[in-house]
């Protein structure tokens, strides 16, 4: 059997016909940082359909040549392409640009003609790389001119929607409603770039392609779980968005909830989009409400804080309120730690601690699963050191891999125990390049595989857990917000949260 290079390792056979990728927000940061480098990389690896046209749409007066220049700059900066490169040249030839106001109906008629001209009969993927305020206008106009309607013979229509997907439950619902007015759910791809990360996909392989851990993956053997997404960066140039979002919206509602459900889900019956997403939904539905929406009770299970000035990576850094563009009296949280419990047969009584923040001492995203101690401490007479719990650490980034901590005997004539690590590292095991999340996700959307995208019900169920926290915080505004020194592992309150249960945060 000859392998189709585009099908190799993909779950869905790509359609061989012409494909057009329309990027709304073609002159923006996301296009430059992520999308163009991803398209380039996929082209270089021969993963894209051969007849791919990219149509950039934005308000700036770039023209085809200007857009090609944006691509050249983007590749130089973010894909490390220096000097002549045939792949970049061939990609540039397939790049087109359409200038216009995204809220103007006429632009969409011109887009229709442009697509007929550069890629007749193509399947079309629309990418909303635009501020959320423009999403409704673009969706409505696409629907109004009929560009969302699928046609026969490979003329499919799909739309990728970037985060933030709403700012609370009500806005997420209306966004879903608006999308469903014009697109079927199968056509909608809500991106969460964490799902495209290799290590996050590997979570499913680790759990469901190995029989060894599944029997102990439950409340009988697992003591508790810690999920951490720590960043050293501050708000950077994104105060306009971040100051009204905060860490809970920015990271917990989407990325951390996705990680939580991948750890907690039951095995799907098959590796299909619906089966995987159904099981993740079951897990999400089993999460106990963090805040009681009626009484506002539950705030003691969640800590928020904001970074003050301090030292990170050997540099003095300003406090959050002194960052450019941030309101000096802002109470936006840059740190969140919370405890969640699941009402499920598998997880009843096992606490999950979630933590994310900016300006911590180290960039690390990991899931640490701590197992229960052995039922009998038979070495306590001979070994002065207490037995540590077994720990499974899934390192999402930056040092991608999986480690297992267990007890070993120290070589000596005496009986002495010490914890040791068994390590699997992506870099040393596989070498080579690890694909960027956007490469995987863009390719999946082009072939129509939604497994790694957030379904409408997941987004809403996640907001249903998160929105009451915002409401409770709003009701307690007068109490302000604790701070933590930049470069430290968060405020004392976060340590108290987990210490109260007899545990400690892993400080990596
Ligand atoms: C984004 C958030 O979704 O994820 C950012 O908006 C955050 O604030 C980023 O920095 C983290 O992503 P990664 O891939 O660096 O862990």
Tell the burial category of 78 from Cβ atoms under 10 Å away from its Cβ (0-12, 13-18, 19+): middle
In the listed set 119, 138, 162, which residue is the last one of a domain according to the structure?
162
The minimum-distance atom of ligand 1 relative to the CA of 358 is: 10
- Answer whether residue 446 is part of any domain: no
Distance 356 CA to ligand 1 centre (A): 10
237 plus 324 within the same structural domain: yes
CATH of the domain at 104: 3.40.50.720
Q: What whole-number distance in Å separates Cα of residue 169 and Cα of residue 375?
A: 44
In a 3-state reduction of DSSP, which class is residue 394?
A: strand
Beta bridge partners of 307: 484
In the listed set 145, 162, 179, which residue is the last one of a domain according to the structure?
162
Report pLDDT digits (tens) over 455-485.
999 999 999 999 999 999 988 765 679 999 9
- Answer whether residue 226 is part of any domain: yes
- Answer whether residue 313 is part of any domain: yes
Helices 169-182 & 135-144, crossing angle to 10 degrees? 20
Q: What whole-number distance in Å separates Cα of residue 199 and Cα of residue 205?
A: 10
Residue 159 φ then ψ, to 5° = -135, 135
pLDDT exceeds 60 at position 2: no
Distance 367 CA to ligand 1 centre (A): 16
342 plus 472 within the same structural domain: yes
Distance 280 CA to ligand 1 centre (A): 22
- Answer whether residue 38 is part of any domain: yes
CA 405 to chain centre: 27
Helix (H) or strand (E) holding 227: strand 222-230
pLDDT for res 1: 36
pLDDT for res 8: 62
100 plus 239 within the same structural domain: no
Domain range for 290 = 196-373+455-499
**Residue 147 contacts by C-beta under 8 Å, 6 or more apart in sequence?**
108, 111, 112, 115, 124, 126, 157
Q: Is 365 in the pocket of ligand 1 (CB under 6 A)?
A: yes
- Answer whether residue 442 is part of any domain: no
Q: For a ligand 1 pocket test, name from 129, 255, 435 the mutation site with the most ligand atoms within 8 angstroms of its C-beta.
A: 255
Counting Cα atoms < 13 Å in the Cβ hemisphere of 39 gives 31
Q: Is 400 in the pocket of ligand 1 (CB under 6 A)?
A: no
Report pLDDT digits (tens) over 413-437.
888 889 999 999 998 999 877 889 9
Q: Quick one: what percent of the chain has pLDDT higher than 70?
A: 96
* 358 and 242 Cβ atoms separated by less than 8 Å: no
Q: What whole-number distance in Å separates Cα of residue 195 and Cα of residue 437?
A: 7
The minimum-distance atom of ligand 1 relative to the CA of 396 is: 16
Q: Is 250 in the pocket of ligand 1 (CB under 6 A)?
A: yes
The minimum-distance atom of ligand 1 relative to the CA of 242 is: 8
CATH of the domain at 267: 3.30.360.10
66 plus 127 within the same structural domain: yes
311 plus 223 within the same structural domain: yes
68 plus 140 within the same structural domain: yes
The minimum-distance atom of ligand 1 relative to the CA of 255 is: 3
pLDDT for res 407: 94
Phi/psi region, residue 384 (left: phi>0; alpha: psi -120 to 50; beta: rest), is alpha
224 plus 343 within the same structural domain: yes
158 plus 287 within the same structural domain: no
Distance 485 CA to ligand 1 centre (A): 21
* 319 and 332 Cβ atoms separated by less than 8 Å: no
CA 488 to chain centre: 24
232 plus 132 within the same structural domain: no
pLDDT exceeds 90 at position 180: yes
Q: What whole-number distance in Å separates Cα of residue 317 and Cα of residue 172?
A: 35
Confidence of residue 345 (pLDDT cuts 50, 70, 90): very high
- Answer whether residue 403 is part of any domain: no
Distance 204 CA to ligand 1 centre (A): 21
153 plus 251 within the same structural domain: no
Report pLDDT digits (tens) over 382-399.
777 778 899 999 999 999
Residue 309 φ then ψ, to 5° = -65, 165
Tell the burial category of 75 from Cβ atoms under 10 Å away from its Cβ (0-12, 13-18, 19+): buried
Averaged pLDDT, 152-177: 94
Shortest-distance Cα residue to atom 9 of ligand 1: 251
pLDDT exceeds 60 at position 3: no
- Answer whether residue 390 is part of any domain: no
pLDDT exceeds 90 at position 50: no
In the listed set 110, 142, 162, which residue is the last one of a domain according to the structure?
162
Active site amino acids: 255
154 plus 265 within the same structural domain: no
In a 3-state reduction of DSSP, which class is residue 133?
A: helix
Shortest-distance Cα residue to atom 4 of ligand 1: 251
pLDDT exceeds 80 at position 82: no
Instruction: Locate all alpha helices (DSSP H) within 28-187, ordered by sequence.
Output: 29-30, 36-44, 63-78, 86-93, 105-118, 135-144, 169-182
Distance 235 CA to ligand 1 centre (A): 10
pLDDT exceeds 50 at position 4: no
Shortest-distance Cα residue to atom 15 of ligand 1: 231
The minimum-distance atom of ligand 1 relative to the CA of 238 is: 8
152 plus 254 within the same structural domain: no
Report pLDDT digits (tens) over 89-129.
999 999 999 999 999 999 999 999 999 999 999 999 999 99
Q: For a ligand 1 pocket test, name from 190, 251, 364 the mutation site with the most ligand atoms within 8 angstroms of its C-beta.
A: 251
Distance 35 CA to ligand 1 centre (A): 15
Averaged pLDDT, 77-91: 84
Residue scoring higher pLDDT (147 or 295)? 147
For 116-136, letters b (16+ CB in 10 Å) and e give eebbeebbbbbbbbbebeebe
- Answer whether residue 396 is part of any domain: no
Q: Is 231 in the pocket of ligand 1 (CB under 6 A)?
A: yes
- How many domains does the structure of the chain reveal? 2
């Amino acid at each position: 059997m000859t392998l189709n290079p585009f099908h190799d390792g993909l779950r869905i056979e790509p359609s061989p016909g012409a494909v057009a990728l329309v990027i709304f927000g073609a002159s923006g940061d996301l296009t430059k940082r992520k999308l163009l480098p991803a398209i380039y990389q996929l082209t270089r690896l021969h993963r894209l359909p051969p007849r791919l046209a990219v149509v950039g749409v934005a308000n700036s007066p770039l023209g085809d040549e200007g857009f090609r220049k944006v691509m050249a700059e983007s590749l130089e900066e973010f894909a490390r392409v220096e000097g002549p490169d045939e792949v970049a040249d061939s990609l540039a030839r397939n790049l087109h640009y359409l200038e216009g106001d995204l809220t103007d109906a006429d632009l969409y008629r011109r887009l229709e003609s442009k697509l007929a001209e550069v890629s007749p009969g193509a399947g079309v993927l629309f990418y909303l790389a635009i501020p959320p305020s423009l999403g409704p206008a673009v969706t409505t106009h696409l629907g109004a001119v009929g560009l969302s309607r699928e046609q026969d013979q490979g003329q499919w229509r799909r739309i990728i929607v970037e985060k933030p997907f709403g700012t609370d439950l009500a806005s997420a619902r209306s966004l879903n409603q608006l999308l469903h007015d014009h697109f079927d759910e199968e056509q909608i791809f809500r991106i969460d770039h964490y799902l495209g990360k290799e290590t996050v996909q590997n979570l499913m392989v680790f759990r469901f392609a190995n029989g060894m851990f599944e029997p102990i993956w439950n409340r009988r053997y697992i003591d508790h779980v810690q999920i951490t997404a720590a960043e050293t960066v501050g708000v950077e140039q994104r105060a306009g968005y971040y100051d009204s979002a905060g860490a809970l919206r920015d990271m917990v509602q989407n990325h951390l909830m996705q990680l939580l459900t991948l750890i907690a889900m039951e095995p799907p019956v098959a590796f299909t989009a619906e089966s995987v997403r159904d099981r993740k939904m079951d897990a999400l539905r089993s999460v106990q409400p963090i805040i009681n929406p009626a009484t506002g009770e539950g705030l003691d299970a969640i800590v928020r804080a904001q970074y003050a000035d301090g030292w990170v990576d050997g540099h003095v850094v300003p406090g959050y309120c002194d960052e450019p563009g941030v309101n000096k009296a802002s109470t936006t949280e840059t740190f969140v730690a919370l405890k969640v419990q699941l009402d499920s047969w598998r997880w009843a009584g096992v606490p999950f601690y979630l933590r994310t923040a900016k300006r911590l001492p180290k960039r690390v995203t990991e899931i640490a699963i701590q197992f229960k101690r052995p039922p009998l401490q038979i070495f306590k007479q001979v070994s002065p050191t207490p037995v540590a719990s077994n720990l499974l650490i899934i390192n999402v980034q930056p040092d991608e891999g999986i480690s297992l901590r267990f007890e070993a005997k120290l070589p000596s004539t005496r009986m002495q125990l010490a914890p040791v690590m068994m390590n699997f590292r992506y870099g040393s095991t596989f070498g080579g390049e690890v694909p960027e999340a956007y490469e995987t996700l863009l390719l999946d959307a082009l072939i129509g595989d939604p497994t790694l995208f957030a379904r409408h019900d997941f987004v809403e169920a996640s907001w249903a857990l998160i929105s009451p926290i915002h409401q409770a915080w709003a009701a307690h505004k007068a109490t302000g917000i604790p701070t933590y020194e930049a470069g430290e592992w968060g405020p004392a309150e976060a340590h108290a949260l987990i210490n109260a249960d007899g545990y400690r945060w892993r400080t990596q």
